[in-house]
A and B are shown apart, each in its own frame.
Chain A
Amino acid sequence: MEKCKTSEARVIDYVYGELDQSESSAFEQHLATCSKCTRKVYSYSHVLHLVDDAESEFLPVALAPRNLEAKLYKRLADAPPEKNSILSRLSNYFSNLLLVLHEQKVASICIFSIAAIAVAFFVGNPFRPTTLDINRINSADARIEQYRHNDIQRNLEDVLRKKHLRHSDSWDTVSQLNRVKDQAQGTDWANIAKNQLKRVHSEF
């Protein structure tokens, strides 16, 4: 029997489908006469079949990760800013303004805040505390800020809903409100959370 001089690499290329048409048909002609190469082709092909089956069993259809878009914008919001944007300057301005108001202990801000949360909570009005028209600013910052505000609002509503339905005790409510307050730093929501905290303290 003639000793076969076909390289292992050629067999593997054939199995992977990496040979061009003429190389491939020449090799197939060789296969008709060479049992050694035929066995190798069978063996490698079988390996690939096994792996393909196992992999398609693992992931039979393409799945999408959950809430990628929302998570991305939240992540971008949490990440340190790359540049000093208009929005971060604006939000600094607002938080400074709030600090001043807070130090003066203006009683009206309490009323305003309670009214605001009542509107946001009971009417579901997408109230935006920074008074920026997000739609007009089609920038990354606006989108990030919007997601951040939505997130804070959702969390705050969640706390109040649970409190309202008596699904959490005062200790829970206080710790949740504190968490929202931290999350909301630099926005009006922080103040709203603070006022809610005061109310919880006086209620219990």
Chain B
Amino acid sequence: MDKMIDDEMLVAQFKSGSQKAFDELMKRYERRIFGYLLRSVRNYEDAEELTLEVFFKAYRALGTWEPKAKFSTWLYTIASNLSIDFHRAKSRQPVYMLEDEDVIEKRLIATDISSNPEKNLEDKERGRIIREAVDELSAKQKSVFMLARYEGMQIKEVAETLGMAEGTVKIHLHRAIKKLQTLLRPLWENNEI
């Protein structure tokens, strides 16, 4: 894998008929897109399905894609739109599935990079409650928060990805942290400080 070849070059190679260029782009971004979607839908199977959909759409549209933003930004845009559609379709409640955490854990153990094995149940339960609070954010708040916090994006890039003004991104970020504070306050009032 040649890191010196940038994404734009690979896109150009794909447009001139190289399949390998697309495989390389996929290799570069499959983990990031999958992680983003996994946090978004909290369900392993759905996240895999959506990741496939992202690259399927990208594959079909890339031939006529005119780069206005980075390739990675474009992928995140596709992923964000798909996850919003997904939540809309499942709007009854984005049920938090504990089984999927088990699937993830099994895979982590299988890849031998398991997290703290002695993590006790109480910690796990706490983590689950916190993630449920994150999932309580509105779709836009959550997307903005996730992109800025876990995908390493600057506000400008989040704005590009979600097609929002930078000011709007900031508003969502602010609302997100305030809402999380409200939701999580009982947790630390009971257990900490």
Contacts and interface: CB of A to CB of B under 8 A. Distances in A.
A60 B177 contact: no
B84 interface: no
Contacts of A46: 188
A62 B119 contact: no
B19 interface: yes
B113 A60 contact: yes
Interface size class of B (residues with CB under 8 A): 35 or more
A118 interface: no
A59 B39 contact: yes
Given A47-B180, A50-B130, A68-B52, A63 B104 contact: yes
A62 B134 contact: no
A43 interface: yes
Contacts, number: 122
Contacts of A143: 19
28 contacts: A12-B178, A18-B170, A48-B177, A51-B149, A51-B180, A51-B184, A52-B149, A54-B127, A54-B131, A54-B134, A55-B39, A55-B131, A57-B123, A57-B124, A58-B42, A59-B38, A63-B35, A63-B107, A63-B108, A64-B30, A65-B30, A65-B47, A72-B59, A75-B52, A76-B56, A79-B56, A138-B19, A140-B59
Interface string A1-17: 00000001100110110
Nearest to B155: A18
Contacts of B111: 61, 63
B130 A54 contact: yes
Nearest to B31: A62
Interface string B101-139: 100100110010101000100011011101101100000
A9 B35 CA distance: 29
Contacts of B38: 58-59, 63
A139 interface: yes
Main secondary structure on A side of the interface with B: helix
A91 to B, nearest CB: 19
B181 interface: yes
B142 to A, nearest CB: 11
Given A18-B155, A59-B38, 12 more contacts: A15-B177, A50-B130, A51-B134, A54-B134, A59-B35, A59-B39, A61-B111, A61-B113, A69-B26, A75-B56, A139-B17, A139-B19
Interface residues of A, number: 40
Contact of A9 (B30, B174, B180): B174
A66 B180 contact: no
Nearest to A72: B55
B40 to A, nearest CB: 12
Contacts of A69: 23, 26
Closest 8 CB pairs of A and B: A54-B130, A62-B31, A54-B127, A60-B115, A57-B127, A65-B48, A65-B34, A65-B51
Given A54-B134, A57-B119, A71-B52, A64 B187 contact: no
A68 B174 contact: no
Nearest to B182: A47
A64 B104 CA distance: 11
A199 B188 CA distance: 71
Given A138-B19, A139-B17, A58 B127 contact: yes
A79 B39 CA distance: 28
A196 B30 CA distance: 40
Interface in A48-103: 48, 50-55, 57-66, 68-69, 71-72, 75-76, 79, 82
